[in-house]
Amino acid sequence: MFGVMRIVNLAHGALAVLAAYGVLVLVRTGITAPLVALFIVVPLMVALGYVLQRTILQRSLSESPLPSLLVTFGIAIIIENLLLVTQSANQQRFSLGWLDTASLTLPGDIRIGVFPLIVLLFAVLALGTLSLVMRNTQFGRLVRAVSDDPATASLTGANPQHIYGLAAAIAFGLVAVAGFANGVQSGFNPTSGNLLLIFAFEAVIIGGLGSLWGTLLGSIILGVVQTVAAQFDSTLFQLAGHVVFLLFLVFLPNGLIRRRSRQ
């Protein structure tokens, strides 16, 4: 969604981890189960996204990418150290009870974890909804118009800053869900946002910049490569992902799905 503002949010991974800790705090205090807590944290992150965009990120938007990069990187460092100071550096993990280990057995004795399947379905659903909204609704048209040319869009009555805020809100809400899913699947600690950001970035480049479905495809490729590499040597999974990314950069720098050129 940050494609709308044409900025790269270096705090994306840190925000996912922040959301995961939000859920963790709610669970720890005994208020709710993790899934219920998610329904509290996501709206909070959505609100945070809007407010942060309107107050801080908006100011950093300019012709040069430098200010927005520095600001989002600063936010990432702030979040990471805030979590380190308040939550300790320990690895944390959510448990959803039976869902953690539940699996479906397909013919041929192939087992598929139920939770990863739910996450995949959610991702497809979210992407599908998003691309439908972007293509067919008034809001989607507004977002695309503001993304292409904020000045002209505002002449026709659109409020670019409000649209940016909404885009950031959606992005923050999705990143909160991602942070939670990662928390169930692999666990997290205050610094795991770095790796999340790198993986997300690699998926975007492999899939092709600006393409929603390309990103999904890129994520799947990256995930499969990492998992297969980990089968041979469990310490290899990160390196294998990076190497695949670099290979794409060398041989297919535009990614798998090239967005139709705008100009």
Partner 1 sequence: MTHNNTSPRVQRFDRFSIAGLGISFVLVIVLAVLPYYVPIGSTRDLTNLFIYIILATSWNLLAGFGGMVSIGQQAYIGLGAYGIVMIAGLAGFNQLLAIPLVAIACGVIALPISYLAFRLTGGYFAVGTWVIAEVFRLVTIRFPELGGGSGISVAPMTGVDRDMRIAIAYWAGLVVTAVVISAVVLIARSKLGLALTAARDEPVAAATSGINVVFAKRVVFMIAGAAAGAAGALIAISTLNVQPTAVYGVQWSAYMIFIVVIGGVGSIEGPIIGAVLFWALQVMLADYGGFYLIGLGILGVMMVLFAPGGIWGLITRRRRVDFFPISYRLDIPMQKDPAKKAATP
Residue numbers at the binding site for partner 1 (CB under 8 A): 7-10, 56, 59-60, 64-71, 73-75, 77-78, 81-82, 84-85, 194, 197-198, 201-202, 205, 209, 235, 238-239, 242-243, 245-246, 249-250, 253
Nearer residue to partner 1 within complex by CB, 184 or 204: 204
Q: Which is nearer to partner 1, 32 or 161 (CB)?
A: 161
CB of residue 42 to partner 1, shortest distance in Å: 25
Residue 184 or 197 having the CB closest to partner 1: 197
How far apart CA 199 and CA 223 sit, in angstroms, is 9
CB of 90 to partner 1, least distance (A): 14
103 or 254: CB nearest partner 1:
254
Q: What is the dihedral of CA 219, 220, 225, 227, to 10 degrees?
A: 100
CA 53 from chain center: how many Å? 16
Q: How far, in Å, CA of 241 to CA of 20, rounded?
A: 24
Cβ nearer to partner 1, comparing 124 with 243:
243
Using DSSP's 3-state secondary structure scheme, residue 231 falls into: helix
Alpha helices in 111-236 (DSSP H): 114-136, 138-148, 150-155, 160-185, 192-207, 212-232
Measured distance CA(46)–CA(171) in Å, rounded:
8
Q: How far, in Å, CA of 103 to CA of 86, rounded?
A: 36
- In the complex, what is the shortest distance from the CB of residue 110 to partner 1, in angstroms, rounded to a whole number? 30
Q: Minimum distance from CB of 260 to partner 1 (Å)?
A: 19
Residues with Cβ within 8 Å of 60's Cβ and at least 6 positions away in sequence, in order, are 7, 67, 68, 70, 71, 72
Residue 247 C-beta: closest distance to partner 1, Å: 10
Nearer to partner 1, 18 or 27 (CB): 18
Task: State the nearest-atom distance from the C-beta of 105 to partner 1, in Å.
Answer: 35
